[in-house]
Amino acid sequence: MKPTPPKVPLRFFRWYCHPKLQKYIEGDLIEVYGDRVAEIGKRKADLGFFIDVMLLCRPGIIRPLRIYRTKSNGIMLRSYFKIGYRNILKNKGYSFINIFGLSLGIACCLLMLKYVRFETSYDNFHPSLERTFRVDRQFPSGTSGSSAPPLARTLKDNYAEVEEAMRINTPGDFIIRHDDGPGGVLAFNETNIFAADSNFFSFFGFELKEGNPHTALSGANKVVLSQEVAHKLFGNETALGKTLLLGDDRAAIEVTGVTNHQPENTHFHFDYLLSMETNPNVKRRDWSWVWTQVVTYVRLRPDASPQQLEAKLAGMAEKIIKPAFEARGMNYENTRGTWNFILLPMHDIHLRSGDNRLGPVGSIAYVYTFGIIGIFVLIIAAINFINLSTARATRRAREVGVKKSLGASRSSLISQFQAESIMMAIISMLLAIPVAEGLRWMIAELGGIEIQFSIWDEQILLALPVLALFIGFAAGLYPSFYLTSFRPVQVLKGKIAAGMGNVALRNALVIVQFTISIALITGTIIVFQQLRFMGNTDLGFNKENVLLIKYADKLGSHLETFRDEVKTFPGVVNAGITMEVPGGSTWSDDFVREGTEVNVNVSLVKIDENYFETLGFGMAAGRGFEIGRPSDRNAVIINETTAHLFGWTPDQAIGQYLVYPGNENTRHEIIGVMKDFHYQSLQQPIIPVLFCKLDAEIWGDWRTLTVKFTGTDLPALIQRIDNNWNKVLNDTPMDYAFLDQNLEAQYRTEKKLGSLFGFFSGLAILIAVIGLVGLVSYSAEVRKKEIGIRKVFGASPQRIVVMMNSQYTRLIFISLLIATPFSWWAISQWLDSFAFRIEISPLVFVVAGIVQVSLALLSVGYLSLRAASVNPSIVLKEE
Amino acid sequence: MKKYQLGEFEEIVILTIAVLYKEAYGVSIKKEIETRLKRNVSMGALHTALVRLEDKGYIKSSDGEATEERAGRPKKYFQITALGKRAMEYSKDTRDELWSAIPKLSLNPKIVGG
C-alpha cells in the first residue's frame, strides 16, 4: 500500500502554488515523501512533508495574484444584464408570475412592518419619557389605570423619588357654547373634554401654537383647545383670550392656549383641556380613595429607581390610606390587599396596559401577530421566487455547457446567474412600492384601518434594496452553483436533461407555504366565528330597536314628563330612564353588607321604574322598582353576581340591607335580584351591578332616555321626539344613538382584526397559488414527453390529471398536519382573552384543508388538463 | 566582461546539475547535494533556486516521464545553457584568480610573529 502524504498540507500547497510549477514540485514532494517513509517511518515523513510545504511557500513559487480578473468585470456585467433582460422577455408568463408574486409579498411585509413601527412609536415625543410613569393599581383580575384624587399629592409629598406628579380627570361630556356675536350662539355637544393639573405640559409634549404652557392651566376656568376645535369655533381668528361657556351652568372659561396638531401616536388626545380647578368635583372628592376618576402620572428624579419606589408604595396603604378611611368612618379592612400600586412606564401604556381611561389602547399581541404575518407572507413569496427560479434554471444547462467549452470560468457563470436573479428581485422591489400603495388603499376601504405609509422613510429605503439583494442572491444560489458544475461534454451530449432540480427541497418549501396559508385560513374562520358568537349571544336584555336619547339630564326636572310624553307617541312601546346603558362606562363604588365586613365594589346604575321593562331584563327574585312606593327611594336591586359576592343566593338577598359608606353609611334594602346580564363586552366577565332609583341620595347625575320602538316610521318618531326636546331646550341639540349599534362598536377592534386576517389570508393564498401555478405549468411543460409516452401506453387524460395533482394533494395533507397543532395553540391564546368564547372545533381545520385543496386543484386543474390532453405524436416527434 | 549574478547556493545547484548531466531533476539534485556536501537541502530553497536560475537563463527545463513513486506527476529535467556555462566559468575563473593572488604567508600559520 503506497503511503499518501497528509492531505491538508497537500491541499494548501495546491492552493498557493503557481500552476506552472505545481505538477513537478508536487511530484518531487511525493517522491521524497515515499523515500522518507521507508527510511524514518510515516510519522516523521508526514512532519517532513509538512515542513517542506511550509518552506516552499515563497515568493518565487506562490501563484501571482489574480489581477487579470477585475478588468473584465465592468463589461461582463452589462452583458449579464442584457442577457437577463432578454431571458425575462423570452418567458413573459413565468417572469410575470415570479416578479408579481414577489412584489406582492414584499408589499405586504412593508405595510405590516410600517404598522408595527407606528404602533410601537406611541408617546415617543413626550419629555423625559423614560422617567415618566402612570400609577396603576393591580387587582387579581387585571390592572386599572384609574386612580383617586389624593394619590398624586400623596406621592409627591411622601416619596423623595417623585419629582412631579400630575393628574388628568375625565369630567364627562358637556355642551360648549360660544357667543359669536352676529352669528348667534354656537353650541356643540362635546365628548372629548378633559381636565388636568397645571404641570400638564411638562408631562405631555404637545406644542402650543398659542399660549404659554407653564401658565395655561393654572387657576380655575381656563381651557386649552386643540387646533381643530379652535378652528371650528373661531375660524382663523386667534382663540387666545376668548370666552367659552361650559355646560348647563354656562360657566365662563377663558381660552388660554391652542395646541398644534396633536400627533396620532399618543395614548391621549384632547379637544378641550380644562384646568383641574375648573372641575369642582375633583376638589370635592379630595378625601376619597375610591372615587377613581383621574389618571395619575409621576415623573421620577433622574437618579431614582422605579423598582425601589414601587416597593415603597406597598407601605402606603397602611400609612396613609388606612387613616384616611378611618377618618371618614369607612371600612378599610375590606379593601386590604387591593392597594397594590405599580408604576407603568408611559411608553408601555398604549400596547401593554390594556386599560386607558383616556382613550383607546392597542395591544402588543396584535402588533406581534401582524408583524409575524407580514414576515410569513414575505417568506411565502420569497420561497415561490426561489422555487420557480430554481426549477426553470435547469433549462439553461445547455447554455452553460456551450459557455464553458468556449472558455468561461466557473466564477463568471456564477456571476451571471446571480446577476440575473438579483435583477429580477430588484424589479420586484420597485414594483412592490406601487403595489403597497394599492394594498393600503384596499385595507383602508375594506377594514377601515389607516396605515400611514410613505416610502420616504430611512429605514425602508435602506431595507428594501438589501432585501431584494438577499432574496435575489438566495434564489440565484442553486442555479449558479449546481448548474455551473456540469462538465460541458455531458451537457452538450444531452446527458443532463432539463429536469426538475432538487425535488425534495422544493416539496419542503411548498409544504411551508401551504402550512402558513392553512394557519391563516383557520385564524380567519375562527375570528369570524367568535365575532358571530358575540353578536348572537343573549346578553340578558333586548338590544334591538332601542333608541337612546343621550344627555337627557339636561332636561332637568322636565325629564320625567318628557319620558311620559314620549311613551304616548305612536311606534313607542316603552321608555325608561337610566344613568348608563350596557356597553357604556361603569361608575363604581363600594357597598357593604350590613353587619359584616363584606364589601363589594359594584357598578352603580340609577334607573326609573320603566327601565327594566324597556330593555327586557329578567328578575331572578324579588321585584323591580314600582311607582307609588316612596320607600323605594332607598331601595336597591342587585344582580345575581353581586348577591353571590355578598354571600347570598338570590332569594336570601331579598330583605337584606346594604350600607353605603360613601354617604355616611346610609342603609339600603335589597328588594330585588335580577338575572345576570352583560354590561360590558363579552371580553369581560359579568360584573356586579347595583341599581337604585333616580332620586336616591347617591351621586350620579348622567341620564339617558331609552326608548323601545317598533320598526315603523323611525324618522318620524325621531322628529317628534326632537320637537319635544326643542320645546324644552331650544338652544341645545338633541343627541341620539341606537343601542344595538353602540354595542356592535364594542367589537370594533375584533372586527378590524377579522378583516385584516381575512385580507392577509386571501393574499397568502393568492401568493401560494401563484407559486403553485408556476411550478405546475413548468412541470407540465418539462414532462411533455413523459406524458406523451404514458398516453401511448394507454393512460387516459383523467389518470394523468390525477397523477399530476396527487403529489400536491399529498403535500397539502402534510401541511394540514403541521398547521393544526400550531394554529390551535395560537388561536386559543387569543380566545382566552375573552371571558365568553367559542370552543374550537376540529371541523375548522378540515374545512381549511379542503379550501386549500380545492383552490390548489382549481388553479392547476386547467393546466394539468391541458397538459394531459396533449397529442403524443406531436410531442414525441421533436428530437 | 559581463556581470554574472550567481549566489553561493545557486552556484552549488548549477554545478550539481552539471555533475548529474542528463539526470538532473528536483529530487536527484537534492540527494546529490546532500550526499556530497553533507548538508540538508530544503525543497523550498532548492526549487526557488531552480526557478531563479531558469529566469536568469542559466538553465533550461524539459519534461520528463511520470513514475509510480511520484503518483503520476512528471519530472522536470534541467540542463545547463550556454549562458549558464559562461556564468559557471566566470565564477570559477574569478575564484581561481583570487586564490593565486594569495601570498604564501597568508595561509601558513607556521611563522609566528614575535
| Secondary-structure percent of chain B, ordered helix, strand, coil, rounded to 5 | 55, 15, 30
| Nearest C-alpha in A relative to B28 | A28
pLDDT band at B1 (very low <50, low <70, confident <90, very high): very low
- Residue from A23, A40, A49 to probe the interface with B (highest B Cβ count within 10 Å): A23
Query: ipTM of the assembly?
Result: 0.84
Q: Which amino acid is at A508?
A: A
A764's CB contacts (< 8 A; 6+ apart) are: A376, A377, A380, A516, A517, A520
Q: If you write DSSP's letter for every residue of A420-442 in order, what string do you get?
A: HHHHHHHHHHHHHHHHHHHHHHH
Contact A582, A541 (CB under 8 A): yes
Closest-CA distance of chain B to residue A490, Å:
26
What whole-number distance in Å separates Cα of residue B25 and Cα of residue A243? 111
Q: Residue A25 and residue B26: Cβ atoms within 8 Å? A: yes
- Residue from B41, B51, B62 to probe the interface with A (highest A Cβ count within 10 Å): B51
Closest-CA distance of chain B to residue A10, Å:
13
Closest-CA distance of chain B to residue A39, Å:
14
Residue A456: predicted pLDDT:
59
Q: Residue B44 and residue A56: Cβ atoms within 8 Å? A: yes
Q: Residue B47 and residue A25: Cβ atoms within 8 Å? A: yes
Q: Residue B47 and residue A60: Cβ atoms within 8 Å? A: yes
| Nearest C-alpha in B relative to A22 | B73
- Residue from B47, B51, B62 to probe the interface with A (highest A Cβ count within 10 Å): B47
Q: If you write DSSP's letter for every residue of A758-811 in order, what string do you get?
A: HHHHHHHHHHHHHHHHHHHHHHHHHTHHHHHHHHHTT--HHHHHHHHHHHHHHH
Chain A residues within an 8 Å CB radius of B70: 27-28, 30-31
Q: Which residues of B touch A (CB under 8 A)?
A: 25-27, 30, 42-45, 47-48, 51-52, 66-71, 73-76
Closest-CA distance of chain A to residue B93, Å:
30
Closest-CA distance of chain B to residue A29, Å:
8
What whole-number distance in Å separates Cα of residue A576 and Cα of residue A688? 21
Contact A719, A566 (CB under 8 A): no
For residue B46, give Cα distances in angstroms to A140, A159, B33. Answer: 86, 86, 10
| Nearest C-alpha in A relative to B74 | A24
Q: How would you label B57-95 residue by residue, b for 16+ Cβ within 10 Å and e otherwise?
A: ebbebeebeeeebbbebbbbbbebbeebeebbeebeeee
Residue B32: predicted pLDDT:
93
User: Across A408-534, where does the E strand assignment appear?
Assistant: none
| Nearest C-alpha in B relative to A18 | B51
What whole-number distance in Å separates Cα of residue A498 and Cα of residue A484? 14
DSSP state of A348: G
- Residue from B29, B43, B54, B65 to probe the interface with A (highest A Cβ count within 10 Å): B43
The total number of residues shown for chain B amounts to: 114
Q: Residue B74 and residue A24: Cβ atoms within 8 Å? A: yes
Q: Give the three cell numbers for residue A734.
A: 338633541
Q: Which residues of A touch B (CB under 8 A)?
A: 2, 4, 21, 23-32, 34, 51-52, 54-58, 60-61
- Residue from A14, A30, A31 to probe the interface with B (highest B Cβ count within 10 Å): A31
> How far is C-alpha A69 from the chain's CA centre?
52
Q: Residue A26 and residue B51: Cβ atoms within 8 Å? A: no
Closest-CA distance of chain A to residue B47, Å:
8
A696's CB contacts (< 8 A; 6+ apart) are: A606, A633, A634, A636, A668
**pLDDT mean values, one per 10 residues, chain A (879 residues):** 81 87 88 89 89 87 64 72 82 81 86 81 85 84 79 87 89 81 78 89 88 88 90 86 84 89 84 88 79 86 87 83 78 70 86 74 76 83 79 73 79 82 87 85 70 63 82 80 70 56 72 83 83 79 84 80 86 86 78 80 85 85 82 85 85 84 80 85 82 81 84 81 81 78 76 78 80 75 76 80 77 84 84 79 82 78 74 70
Query: HSE (CB half, 13 Å, CA atoms) of A672?
Result: 21
| Nearest C-alpha in B relative to A59 | B48
Residue B114: predicted pLDDT:
45
Chain B residues within an 8 Å CB radius of A48: none
Chain B residues within an 8 Å CB radius of A30: 69-71, 73
**CA-wise closest residue to A251 among A215, A224, A223:** A223
Write the residue in A2, A30, A61 that is nearest to B47 by C-beta. A61
What whole-number distance in Å separates Cα of residue A758 and Cα of residue A851? 14
DSSP element (H, E) containing A193: strand A193-196
Residue B33: predicted pLDDT:
93
Number of Cβ within 10 Å of residue A157's Cβ equals 10
Q: Please count the residue pairs, one from chain A and one from chain B, whose beta carbons lie less than 8 angstroms apart.
A: 68
What whole-number distance in Å separates Cα of residue A558 and Cα of residue A367? 49
Q: Residue A32 and residue B74: Cβ atoms within 8 Å? A: no
Closest-CA distance of chain B to residue A4, Å:
9
Higher-scoring residue by pLDDT: B1, A750: A750
